[in-house]
């Protein structure tokens, strides 16, 4: 572990000022090394308060620590400090033959994309951007409902660690109140020879500690925390994937329905350039949304083809 990472851990656990001399003594390094490490932490988005004769105190932010996440989950973690997209990082890992399951993690993304290749806001610090690579080797009709399972895992993890209640907008968005908190993108790679899904990449973008948003997103997006968080990103990341790995699929699908933002609500969607409105009556175990239209017809919506344009709160 690098010196600045060790300093971060000491400051995180202290919740108060720690003198530069104490840090130097604990880590057996020079005061100059301490000062350089503080500058490194600040460059990574952490806000550290220095006061003469008192030392340093962590005011805002945290540090992504792959080893901590691996220790808590058993998953290999690859951290890319200059990632364009963790989905692309995972695809590159597949090409290199890197083992799975593995998490591809980044502090931010230069070319973040969601469903239908839509761009999304990725601040320099304070977000969680990660992709999980799995190798299921299953036929399409036997593949788990990965997006639903991860959405439920996120909601459960936030509730357990922070006591904050979130909801899920079909099919892949996490909402806090009436604003989007996180999004999920699931991609599958299949083999022509076998017809099996060989690889799945599940990407998550989550606003963890983002105090401010661009003006055009202020009414649409929100952050889990806007001041120093009581938990770290490492803790939340580990909890999400532990829930995902250790909770039966049927239980996560049940949570998905319980936390649905659209079930039993009127929704509007566009299909083949025609707009429809109806009541969302069910979500199937494979993730399809069942809508009873105003004329009595029933529509079964597939997540890969249709996005809701509006829904009642």
Contact criterion met (CB below 8 Å) for 38 and 48 = yes
CATH topology assigned to domain 265-311 = SH3 type barrels. (2.30.30)
Q: Is 266 annotated as a binding residue?
A: no
pLDDT at 117: 53
For residue 119, the tally of other CB atoms under 10 A from its CB is 9
Residue pLDDT tens, the chain, 313 long: 899 999 999 999 998 999 999 999 999 999 999 999 999 999 999 999 999 999 999 999 999 999 999 999 999 999 999 999 999 999 999 999 999 999 999 999 876 565 545 555 666 778 999 999 999 999 998 999 999 999 999 999 999 999 999 999 999 999 999 999 999 999 999 998 998 999 999 999 999 999 888 888 889 999 999 999 999 999 999 999 999 999 999 999 999 999 999 999 999 988 888 889 999 999 999 899 999 998 999 999 987 666 676 666 5
What single-letter DSSP state applies at residue 301? E
Residue 29 confidence (pLDDT): 96
**3-60 CATH, one of 3.30.160.100, 1.10.15.40, 3.40.50.970, 1.10.10.10:** 1.10.10.10
CATH code 3.30.930.10 for 66-259: yes
Residue 110's pLDDT is 78
With contact defined as beta carbons under 8 Å apart, do 118 and 112 qualify? no
What is the DSSP annotation of 55-123? Answer: EEEEEE-----HHHHHHHH--EEEE-TT-S-HHHHHHHHHHTT--SSEEEEES--SS-B-GGG-B----
Residue 109 marked as a ligand binder:
yes
Give the domain ranges of the chain. Answer: 3-60, 66-259, 265-311
pTM: 0.92
**Strands across the sheet containing 298-301:** 298-301, 289-293, 274-283, 266-271, 308-311
For the chain, the residue count is 313
pLDDT at 111: 66
Residue 113, marked binder = yes
Contacts of 136 (CB under 8 A, 6+ apart): 143, 144, 197, 198, 200
Q: Round to whole Å and give the CA distance between 189 and 167.
A: 29
The tokens for 133 are 């690579």
Which pLDDT value is given to residue 232? 97
Please report, for the chain, how many H helices and E strands are present, in that order: 8, 14
- Residue 198 tokens read as 């060989």
């Amino acid at each position: 572990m690098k010196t600045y990472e060790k300093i971060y851990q000491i400051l995180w656990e202290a919740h108060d000022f720690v003198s530069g001399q104490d840090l130097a003594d604990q880590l057996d390094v020079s005061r100059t090394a301490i000062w350089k490490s503080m500058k490194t932490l600040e460059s990574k988005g952490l806000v550290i308060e220095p006061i003469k004769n008192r030392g340093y105190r962590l005011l805002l932010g945290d540090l992504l620590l792959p080893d901590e996440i691996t220790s808590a989950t058993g998953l290999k973690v690859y951290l890319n400090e200059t990632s364009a997209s963790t989905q692309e990082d995972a695809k590159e890992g597949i090409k290199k033959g890197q083992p799975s399951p593995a998490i591809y993690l980044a502090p931010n993304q230069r070319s973040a994309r969601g469903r239908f290749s839509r761009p999304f806001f990725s601040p320099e610090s304070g977000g969680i951007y990660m992709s999980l690579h799995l190798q299921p080797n299953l036929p399409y009709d036997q593949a788990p409902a990965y997006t639903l399972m991860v959405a439920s895992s996120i909601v459960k993890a936030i509730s357990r660690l922070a006591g904050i209640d979130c909801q899920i907008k079909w099919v892949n968005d996490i909402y806090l109140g009436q604003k989007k908190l996180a999004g999920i993108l699931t991609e599958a790679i299949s083999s022509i020879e076998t017809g099996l899904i060989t690889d799945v990449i599940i990407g998550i973008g989550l606003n963890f500690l983002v105090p401010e948003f661009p003006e055009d997103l202020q009414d649409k997006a929100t952050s889990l925390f806007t001041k120093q968080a009581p938990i770290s990103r490492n803790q939340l990341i580990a909890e999400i994937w532990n829930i995902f790995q250790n909770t039966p699929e049927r239980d996560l699908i049940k949570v998905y329905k319980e936390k649905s933002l659209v079930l039993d609500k009127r929704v509007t969607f566009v299909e083949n350039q025609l707009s429809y409105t109806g009541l969302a009556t069910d979500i199937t175990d494979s993730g399809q949304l069942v809508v009873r239209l105003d004329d009595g017809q029933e529509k079964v919506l597939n997540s890969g083809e249709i996005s809701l344009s509006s829904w009642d709160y």
